[in-house]
A and B are shown apart, each in its own frame.
Chain A
């Protein structure tokens, strides 16, 4: 009898243990409070909540999280958008971009593009000091850019700036960039790592020692100076007393004494730390369950930072997707509204191509409806009356597995038997690089943060002739010519015209199937204020403060 009771008790306790473990999955699958679909998001705003405390408080130590490592050397960034969170502690850029993707001055007060678009002239702000105490001038910026443009330096952004052939210091605070061919994306690049002017002394010391931390200690112009760096764990900066921007109280920024970024790869762990008060901000929230947990905590809240666009790349060099009709059939195999309802809990939107409705060059055309019958009809026409097997690759993190499983269920009805191939993110990414020797047949599920800074960058990233991320390995002569033309076009009307034609070609040939756009969020503790969020959703803390 005793043994029987104990056994029953053990079974009940184990069931309770596994039952608790499934509760999060249940939350993910149910649409709790769906908002209207087609919601567009805005970025670049001050994401802080309203506060009863009206007086900005100086001092304090703010801690934020980051999902992965960020090299302190800005030339070696790993994620050019996300790495701005940490690099933005120590480095200000020549320009910055607001939520409408409009350029704004920062270290450069004004800029001018010549009539032939082959010269870009910037007027620098006077009185900006590097951490080593020297002043930022046109000569120091030229010194830095001469180093950036040296092929031997091989900074990660070299491919985005090498259209510039010469940098000229016109006078003490005026710098001019010269081009053989115009580059419409160049100014936008000045809002990223290439736009960080580094002190010449720091560059020289780096060349001599190879110390990647030297720029954050001596070479930057940002609101904080590096004080502690625990490799792969956390990075701390202390207030830069010579920072060039002023606060609302008439004193120099920043308000904070110290700031730390801690690497927390798992967002549920980051969420727990945010709610417990151990950190004040979280850089990346994707799971609806985590968003709900934070918003219902009463001590923190989430903030929209722009959508993630989901798509499937089809390898057009291998069967079955070397056949255009098979690709078109695949486009009919997905119920995008259901993806929004399940993955995004009702929040999201559908676009026909990789351009968002908020972007000036967006062209509205009908999106493909879920039509399994039509898909089967097309498959039958090309010799697959009984359906077709497809290897479906995806990274096993975040929402990708859930989306992959839902896609599998939907596509099955349309005659596509998706064989799910889940791999770690690094493996699937490198297998699908354009130059990979693997060249896997099938399809890859992926997502990207949109919008990117220019039309050319946004489109080239996935479909460029030389782009590593051209997973489809698709090349169309007219499309590539238009892409080259897009790169040198500054005129908005012309940009719209070019992008429109490119969209027509891409939708006809279908190297990629667009799925849905889902919002992504960051989160703050209610005590954190003044955090600026830019067009990429990267937080900047130069004007942040903590409630006392």
Chain B
């Protein structure tokens, strides 16, 4: 197993290389560059712009610029922001934990609520409870995160004044304030995910509950609670885990909306801002980190599969 994991990790390197090449050339296709962003709003001349572009290396061919960037990466230098001069590595180190915290807590909340709801809906299939939750879940899936976030702010921050509308306090600085600031963003992020997980759980559970071994277990006198949680859920987890992993990879880049609403200093918003500002070092640095995270995530999911389902083995020799 460990050798397989190491092989998987090594195989990732060419994938990451391709990702960086594609991203680098794609972002250079966008009109403009950081020099035009810096000088564009001032009364600047064409000569001044050309001088700045030359200073920043934009007069070089794109492939030369890429090779220069790659060389710096291999030397451990992610570069600095074109607009502010701030080291990209520092920016990632500050922003990534915020996004990871948001995603982790959202996933946790979504799983803690979504899976039980899904089980209930499956067990009480076609009952009033099933229809009630199904309706709620449909609304949850349809509700845009931006709107959910604004609604939560209006209710809890403005009207009730019991939670802050925005901002972030690091956990290491003040755990209680950190959690207080994260409640609303986590709820806003997890609503849609929770609904998706619940729906997926319901479907998977219904599929498993219809199988013969469930009937066998029941006829042997096993209690339904044990059947649901020990046997049915275990077998239903594979598609649920797959769904969650897809949602997580989407959330890594899609957290920008919630980060913008709640003014969280996360990676999502940082990336979007950098794209609009043509701040290439930040875009490439953060894209690389996101690509690595997603690769690690999928590897982790594969390991989880093997744990959940003993039939799955990554050993080529048996």
Q: Which residues of A contact B (CB under 8 A)?
A: 2-3, 5-6, 9-10, 13-14, 17, 20-21, 69, 71-73, 76-80, 151, 154, 156-160, 210-212, 230-233, 262-266, 268-269, 272-273, 275-276, 278, 424-427, 429-431, 433-436, 438, 457, 460-461, 464, 466-469
Q: Is the CB of A71 within 8 A of B85?
A: yes
Q: Is the CB of B46 within 8 A of A78?
A: no
Please tell me the number of chain B residues within 8 Å of chain A, measured between CB atoms.
Answer: 62
Q: Which residue of A is nearest B37, CB measured?
A: A426
Q: Which residue of A is nearest B148, CB measured?
A: A17
Using known A-B contacts A10-B138, A272-B165, determine if residue A266 contacts B261 with beta carbons closer than 8 Å.
yes
CB distance from A394 to the nearest CB of B (A): 15
CB distance from B313 to the nearest CB of A (A): 43
Q: Is the CB of A278 within 8 A of B166?
A: yes
Partner of B36, one of A71, A210, A278, A433: A433
Q: Report the bound CA distance from A159 to B48 in whole Å.
A: 7
Q: Is the CB of B165 within 8 A of A230?
A: no
Q: Report the bound CA distance from A210 to B84 in whole Å.
A: 11
Q: Is the CB of A427 within 8 A of B46?
A: no
Q: Is the CB of A469 within 8 A of B40?
A: yes
Q: Is the CB of B157 within 8 A of A272?
A: yes
CB distance from A454 to the nearest CB of B (A): 10
Q: Which residues of B contact A (CB under 8 A)?
A: 30-33, 36-52, 55, 81, 83-86, 90-91, 94, 126, 128, 131-132, 134-135, 138-139, 142-144, 147, 150, 153-154, 157-158, 161, 164-167, 260-261, 263, 265, 269-270, 273, 276-278
Contacts of B90 in A (CB 8 A): 231
A159-B48, A266-B260 known; 9 new pairs, CB 8 Å cut-off, are A2-B126, A78-B83, A212-B84, A232-B265, A278-B166, A426-B32, A433-B49, A438-B31, A469-B43
Contacts of B36 in A (CB 8 A): 429-430, 433, 468
Q: Is the CB of B84 within 8 A of A273?
A: no
Contacts of B40 in A (CB 8 A): 429-430, 433, 468-469
Q: Report the bound CA distance from A435 to B260 in whole Å.
A: 34
Please list 22 pairs of residues, one from A and one from B, whose beta carbons are closer than 8 Å in the complex, sorted by A's number.
Answer: A6-B134, A69-B83, A69-B273, A71-B85, A76-B85, A160-B42, A232-B84, A232-B270, A265-B273, A266-B260, A269-B166, A272-B166, A273-B166, A278-B166, A426-B276, A433-B36, A433-B40, A433-B49, A434-B46, A435-B49, A435-B50, A466-B47
Q: Which residue of B is nearest A440, CB measured?
A: B31
Partner of A429, one of B32, B132, B138: B32
CB distance from B204 to the nearest CB of A (A): 22
CB distance from A298 to the nearest CB of B (A): 12
Q: Report the bound CA distance from A79 to B47 in whole Å.
A: 19
CB distance from A184 to the nearest CB of B (A): 14
Q: Is the CB of B84 within 8 A of A231?
A: yes
Contacts of A78 in B (CB 8 A): 37-38, 41, 83
Q: Report the bound CA distance from A276 to B262 in whole Å.
A: 13
Q: Is the CB of B44 within 8 A of A468?
A: yes
CB distance from B178 to the nearest CB of A (A): 15
Q: Report the bound CA distance from A31 to B224 in whole Å.
A: 62
Contacts of A232 in B (CB 8 A): 84, 91, 265, 269-270, 273
